[in-house]
Amino acid sequence: MTDYPVRIPFETRWRDNDQYGHVNNVVYYEAMDTAVNAWMIRHAGLDPAGGGPIALVVASNCRYLAPASFPEPLEVGVSVGRLGTTSVTWALGILRAAGGVPHGAVPGVSSDGSDASGETIATGEFVHVFVDAATRRPVPVPAGVREAFAAYGMLDRA
């Protein structure tokens, strides 16, 4: 739990499965991007339409560890890997949610027979640079965002 102090549910959808019968890689990026932005809007005061600072992705990566498939419920684990003056590197994980059915397995049981909920099936990073919405020039990470990171225990890795 300390690796990801924030967990955000992500429901897989019928369209997320590809020809290989598992959730396509682009869906993992979508889940991570959605989780991070939803958290910042709900808990850190980010207002993308309000004319203040916005956060732009300048780099991202994802490492796939195990497959998932619809209708498996997942969670996005969110933490801060590095906090700079104008940027944040998010440390992210895609995890099996409680009651999930791992790809090709018995409900709630991993390949070794143990409970599969909480299993990390992908890890990733997003680098956000905060910029002025009008000029697109870098600005310091807003104080409200920094305060929210601390309040949610997200700076343990940073």
Range name among 106-110, 114-118, 126-130 with the lowest pLDDT average: 106-110
How far, in Å, CA of 29 to CA of 130, rounded? Answer: 19
For residue 158, pLDDT over 80 is answered with no
Q: Look at residue 87 and tell me if it is in a domain.
A: yes
CB 116 within 8 A of CB 108: yes
- How many structural domains is the chain composed of? 1
Q: Look at residue 55 and tell me if it is in a domain.
A: yes
111: number of Cβ within 10 Å: 13
Confidence of residue 1 (pLDDT cuts 50, 70, 90): very low
List pLDDT tens digits, range 4-29: 999 999 999 999 999 988 999 999 99
Q: Look at residue 158 and tell me if it is in a domain.
A: no
Q: Look at residue 156 and tell me if it is in a domain.
A: no
Average pLDDT, the chain: 87
Q: Look at residue 157 and tell me if it is in a domain.
A: no
Q: Look at residue 127 and tell me if it is in a domain.
A: yes
CATH number, domain of 39, equals 3.10.129.10
Domain membership of residue 116 as a residue range: 6-151
Q: Look at residue 140 and tell me if it is in a domain.
A: yes
Which pLDDT score, from 0 to 100, does residue 104 have? 57
Query: Across residues 16-43, what is the average pLDDT?
Result: 93
Query: Across residues 85-90, what is the average pLDDT?
Result: 96
Cis preceding-peptide flag for 67 (omega within 30 of 0): no
Which pLDDT score, from 0 to 100, does residue 73 have? 92
